[in-house]
Structure 1
Amino acid sequence: MEKTIRVLSLEDLPYMKAMQTGIEDDYVTRIFERLVTTDQNRLFGLFLDDHLASVCGYSIFAKHYAMLGRIRSDIRYRGKDLATMLTSQVMDEAFKLPDIHWVGANTQEKNLPARRVLEKLGLSPQAVIYGATTKDVSQLESGSAGWNELGDVKRKKQWVHDLYVKTGAVFPYECYYPFPASPELFAEDELETWSFFENADATRVVIAKRDIKKYHYLHAIYPWEDLMDQPGLWETIASAHKKLCQEVQEDALIWMDFTKEQAQSLPENHQFDLPSPWMLYGTRRPKAEKGA
C-alpha cells in the first residue's frame, strides 16, 4: 500500500467520516471544519492508498505552545504503528514553526499504550492533573469573608512570576490545556481580564478566569495544597461563580485543576466530579547543535 502523510483540508471530510474508529459521535468529525480552517489548528492524515488510516493534529496556544491531540486510527489498520509514525511527524511539523518552543500532549494516566507512544516520541511527564468540575461548593464553605480582588496588574504580574514563571510550574492556561509556565503565557491584556483574589495577609491568591468549552466555566486556579485550611477561599470562588452565572444567564460550571494531593485533601462531602486523572507530557524545542 502507498503511504502518504499530509495536512487535511475541508475536502477530506468524507475520508474522516469513512474511518472506523469505534468512537460514537466523534467530536473531531463534528468540529472538522474548525480544525482544518483556523490558524490555531492543524490536522494531519496518514493515508494508505485512498483510505484515511490515522489522524493527528496540534493546536497552538499563546503563540509558543503546541498541544498534540485528536489522535484517531481506523481499527482496520491498527497494529501497524501508524499512529506513532503520524504523531512523530506532526510533532516535527509543529517544531518547524519558528515561534513554537514547547510541544506536548495530554492522556489519561490509566492509558498505558498512549503513554508508551508519547514516551517513545521523547515526551516526558510534566504533571498529573484532575480536571474537576462542580456547580456548587457550598459544602466546602466555612462562613468566612471572601478575599480581596486585586485591581493592580503589576501585583498580578508579581503573583504569576513568583508562582509560575520563576519556578516553571505547570499553569492551567485554559480548561483542558495546562502548560509549563513561561512569560508568554501571561500577556498583560489577558492578566487584565483575569480576576485575582488575595487573602487578608497577602500570602495566598486564587485566580478566576472565564472559559468556554461547550459550557461556560469559571476556571479557578489555586496552586497550594491547603484547600481546606484557608478561610474565605471557597466563599471567594462561590462569589465569582455566582457573578459569572448571572452574566451568562445560565448555570456555569466551576473548573479546578487538582493535583493528587489536593484531590485527596477534599472532604468526603465535596461536590466535585473527579474523573480519572490526566498526565501532561511535553518536550522543549531541541537545542541547535553548536556551529549549526
Structure 2
Amino acid sequence: MEKIIRQLTLEDLHHLEEMDTGIEDDYILRVYKRISSGSSRLYGLFMDGRLASIGGYTIFAKQYIMLGRMRSDLRYRGKNLSTQLMAHIMEQAFELSTIQWIGANTQQKNLSARRVMDKLGLAEVSKLYSAISSDISSLGAGSPVWQEIMEIPYKQAWIDRLYIQTGAVFPYECYYTFPASEALFDDAELAQWSFFENPRKDRVLIAKKDYKREYYLHAIYPWDDIMEQPGFWETISMAQNQLSKKVNNQALLWIDLSPDQVNTLPGRHPFELPSPWLLYGIDRHNRKQLPAFSG
C-alpha cells in the first residue's frame, strides 16, 4: 500500500470532503482556504491515493508554531497515521530557521490526541480552563473599576515582570497559549490591549478583543485571588460592555483560569467550564529524535 505525505493545496479540498472522520459539520471544511495558506499549513497522509489523515500548523509571532487540526479517516484508524503525519509536520516546521518552539493544545478529555503528543515527545506545559460567560455581573459587589494604563512602557514593564522574566505561559489568543518571550509582545499589539491596575498597583488585568466565530473579551490575570480583589470583576464587566458596544454585538467573556483559580470560584458561578486545555510543547534546542516516517 503506497503511503505519501504532502502539503495540501486548495485543489485538495475534495479529498478532505471524501474522508469519513465521524465529525458532523467539521469547521475545517468551512475555513479550509484560510488554514491551508498564509501563516497556516495543512498536510495530508495519503494511502493509495486516498486521504487518510490530516494535520497542520499555524505560525504565531514569527517564532511559535501551534500544531492542530488532526483528523483521521475512520477506515484507517489504529495504524498510527496521526503520529507519523505530525512527526513529518514537526520536521518540516523546524526546517524554518525562525521557529523556536512547537506546541499543541488539546482538551484533557481528548485521550487520542494526548497519546499522539506523548509519542511525538512533546511535554505537558500547562493546564488552563477556558471560562466563558455572557454575563458576570453576579460576581461583582459594586466596587470601583481599576485604573486603565495607557503608556506603552508601563504596559511593557508589567509584561516583563510577569511573563518575560518568569517564562510563564501567556494566553496570546483564545485557544492559543505560549511560553512567553519578547516576540509575543510588540508595541503595536500592546497598544491595542487594555491594561487595568488595581488601587494598590500590585495587580494588573489584561483585556483584549478576540474573534473565534464570536466576539470575545479575552481577559488575562495570573494571580489566584480573583475573588479577593475589589473591582476586579467590575472592571472586566465594564470592558466587556465597552467591547459589545464597539462591535455592535454581544461580546462574551473568555478568561483562562488555572485549576487553583477555578477552585476559588463560588459554587454558583456564571461560567461554562469545559474540559481543561492541556498545552504541550518542545523547544528547538531540546527536541529529541522524532518518530521516523517510512514512505
TM over 0.5: yes
The aligned residue for residue 182 of structure 1 is 181
The aligned residue for residue 194 of structure 1 is 193
User: Does the 8 A contact of 1:129 with 1:257 survive in 2?
Assistant: yes
1:114 to partner: Cα distance: 1.9
Q: Structure 2 CA distance, aligned partners of 1:286 and 1:5?
A: 26
Q: Does 1:272 align with 2:271?
A: yes
Residue correspondences, number:
287
Q: Structure 2 CA distance, aligned partners of 1:126 and 1:229?
A: 27
The DSSP-based 3-state class of the residue aligned with 1:281 is: strand
Matches within 5 A, 1:34-73: 34-37=34-37, 39-73=38-72
The one-letter amino acid of 2:13's match is L
The aligned residue for residue 29 of structure 1 is 29
Question: Which runs of 5 or more structure 1 residues have no equivalent in the other structure?
Answer: none
The DSSP-based 3-state class of the residue aligned with 2:92 is: helix
The one-letter amino acid of 2:54's match is V
1:234 to partner: Cα distance: 0.5
The aligned residue for residue 225 of structure 2 is 226
Matches within 5 A, 1:15-26: 15-26=15-26
For residues 105-128 of structure 1, give each alpha carbon's deviation from its aligned partner in whole angstroms, at most 9, with x where no partner exists: 011112233212211111000100
The aligned residue for residue 13 of structure 1 is 13
User: Does the 8 A contact of 1:139 with 1:269 survive in 2?
Assistant: no
The DSSP-based 3-state class of the residue aligned with 2:55 is: strand
Question: What TM-score results when the alignment is normalised by the length of structure 2?
Answer: 0.96
The aligned residue for residue 2 of structure 2 is 2
The one-letter amino acid of 2:6's match is R
1:215 to partner: Cα distance: 0.5
The aligned residue for residue 94 of structure 1 is 93
The aligned residue for residue 75 of structure 1 is 74
The DSSP-based 3-state class of the residue aligned with 2:29 is: helix
The one-letter amino acid of 1:185's match is L
Q: Structure 2 CA distance, aligned partners of 1:225 and 1:152?
A: 26
Matches within 5 A, 1:241-260: 241-260=240-259
The aligned residue for residue 150 of structure 1 is 149
The aligned residue for residue 133 of structure 1 is 132
Q: Structure 1 CA distance, aligned partners of 2:127 and 2:199?
A: 31
Q: Percent identity, aligned pairs only?
A: 54
Runs of 4+ in 1 over 3 A off after TM superposition: none
For residues 129-187 of structure 1, give each alpha carbon's deviation from its aligned partner in whole angstroms, at most 9, with x where no partner exists: 11111111111101110000001111100101110000000100000000010010001
Q: Structure 2 CA distance, aligned partners of 1:287 and 1:271?
A: 41
The DSSP-based 3-state class of the residue aligned with 1:80 is: coil
The DSSP-based 3-state class of the residue aligned with 2:262 is: helix
For residues 206-243 of structure 1, give each alpha carbon's deviation from its aligned partner in whole angstroms, at most 9, with x where no partner exists: 00000111111100101100000000000100000110
The one-letter amino acid of 2:243's match is L
1:287 to partner: Cα distance: 5.9
User: Does the 8 A contact of 1:3 with 1:49 survive in 2?
Assistant: yes
1:244 to partner: Cα distance: 0.5
The one-letter amino acid of 1:276's match is S
Q: Structure 1 CA distance, aligned partners of 2:60 and 2:40?
A: 10
The one-letter amino acid of 1:236's match is T
1:54 to partner: Cα distance: 0.3
The aligned residue for residue 293 of structure 2 is none
Quick one: structure 1 residues 287 and 109, their matched pair in 2 at CA, closer, same or farther if it must change by over 3 Å?
closer
Q: Structure 1 CA distance, aligned partners of 2:82 and 2:269?
A: 39
The DSSP-based 3-state class of the residue aligned with 1:255 is: strand
The one-letter amino acid of 2:152's match is V
The DSSP-based 3-state class of the residue aligned with 2:144 is: coil
Q: Structure 1 CA distance, aligned partners of 2:74 and 2:119?
A: 21
The aligned residue for residue 262 of structure 1 is 261
Give the alignment's Cα RMSD to 1 decimal.
1.0
